[in-house]
Amino acid sequence: MTLLRAGRGLRGCLGLFLFTVSCAGEPQSWSALQKQLAGLEAEDRAAVIERFVAAKGGTPIVENQTRLIFLAQDVNGATPRVVGDFNAWASTPQGYDVSVGTMTRIAGTSWSFLEGTAYTNARVEYVFLFDAEATPDPLNPHTAQANAGPRSEARMPFWVAQPETDDESAVPAGLVITDTVLSQSLGGSRQVWYYLPPGYAAATEDTLYPVMYVLDGGNYVEKMDVPRVLDRLIASQDIPPVIAVFSEPADRVEEYSRNPKWRAFISSELVPLVDKRFRTFPAPDHRVIVGSSYAAYGAVDLAVEFPSIFGLCAAIAPPPQTASIVANQARARAAAVSIRFFVLGGIYDSMIDGARRLRTTLDDVDAPVSYLEVPEGHNTNTFRAHLDDALRALLRETP
């Protein structure tokens, strides 16, 4: 009996020893995982990959502060490509490249991998691409909403999160009023949203507010939820209380392309209407015109066309042709000197030359400009997350 119990005790200790060695032997890095997989039978590899991904908290795996390792399983026998900010969404100087983002098979499994890099402080968005269908990474717990649908998001180790977009704690809420404005200039109506900051109704009649006019207003209100972003920025005193006017175009390419009817609607109809209806500070140095992507072209055009109305202009991720508005017109060059500009470019934006050219052109004509490049791509989450940078730069006290 004594020998039997001793044998059982020995087997128990041996089992514990083997379990401890097994746990200690779990790979801690991508290279260690690859080495371990090479020494395993094919049928054992998938389980090891799954444990590795679970231990890392999902994908992509981030190593050495700049390295990204994407892992994916086949779906119905199909292996996805991985396209996103980190590889320019498969765009090249020669055009779209269908080979970009192709994954490498892990032998003996239905798993594949792709390696990439990003700046240590970057935020990149990406999707898995099955033929023409784009889906988020099912192993990534972080999802970002975009106009084209949900995307996966990777935040690198030194990324600085913005509380106004990430923090969902309750703060005093402003009032959003939806309206339809009939325009004689346009021969039709346009939808407009007015944002009144918290405390507006209770403030005294002599309390006046700066106003920001935002082009592509529907996206900012309904998809980006910018009124709630403004609530948080105002509550944290990152920006002063502002009135925001979000205007929606009909055909944005037509109307933002120096269209005289659109210009007349904004300058002669919408701005006077807002000044009459709300307690605005009716001066150009308290009026901001904001546009992102192609709407940045429209914002710069309105500013230089009407410097007596818009003394402040935020061009977020502008297209390459935006600089020509100033460079090719003597009147615009003269007007730009009296306007304070904020220009933002995304390092992972294929149109970043638009921001850089605009900044250089404004510098050349001695226009006051604040310029910011961020390690992000061309997307709605970048646009809304840096409104605070724009408003802090433009609504600061005039020296």
- For tokens 């009023």, the residue is 177
pLDDT band at residue 397 using 50, 70 and 90 as cut-offs: low
Given this model, what pLDDT does residue 20 score? 37
CA–CA dist 266, 131 (Å, integer): 43
- pTM of the predicted model as reported, rounded to 2 decimal places: 0.90
- Residue 366 has phi, psi (to 5 degrees) of 65, 30
pLDDT at residue 335 above 90? Answer: yes
CA 315/CA 322 separation, integer angstroms: 9
Indicate the average pLDDT of the chain: 91
Please report where in the chains the tokens 């106009």 appear, as a residue: 147
Other beta carbons within 10 Å of 310: 26
Farthest-apart Cα atoms in the chain, separation? 104
Q: What percent of the chain has pLDDT over 70?
A: 93
Rounded Cα distance between 138 and 71, Å, is 10
Token pair belonging to 241: 């209380």
d(CA 372, CA 130): 35
Mean pLDDT is lowest, of 245-259, 298-312, 333-347, for: 245-259
So what's the pLDDT on residue 362?
Answer: 98
Rounded Cα distance, 377 and 41, in Å: 41
Lowest mean pLDDT among 131-135, 324-328, 350-354, 366-370: 131-135
In this prediction, residue 148 has a pLDDT band, given cuts at 50, 70 and 90, of confident
Angle at 317 between CA 312 and CA 321, to 5 degrees: 90
pLDDT at 11 exceeding the cut of 90: no
List helix spans (H) across the chain: 2-24, 30-38, 42-55, 163-166, 217-218, 226-235, 252-256, 260-264, 271-277, 294-305, 322-327, 330-336, 352-364, 380-385, 387-394
Which residues are 369's β-sheet partners? 341
Domains and CATH numbers, the chain: 27-158 (2.60.40.10), 164-394 (3.40.50.1820)
pLDDT digits (tens, 9 = 90+) for 54-112: 999 999 999 999 999 999 999 999 999 999 999 999 998 888 999 999 999 999 999 99
pLDDT, tens digit (0-9, with 9 covering 90-100), for 262-311: 999 999 999 999 999 999 999 999 999 999 999 999 999 999 999 999 99
- Cβ neighbours of residue 185 under 8 Å, at least 6 residues apart? 261, 262, 264, 265, 268, 269
Taking a C-beta distance cutoff of 8 angstroms, is the pair 116, 70 a contact? Answer: yes
Beta strands in 60-206 (DSSP E): 61-63, 67-73, 81-84, 91-92, 95-96, 104-105, 111-117, 123-130, 133-135, 143-146, 149-155, 175-183, 188-196
Is the pLDDT confidence value at 12 over 70?
no
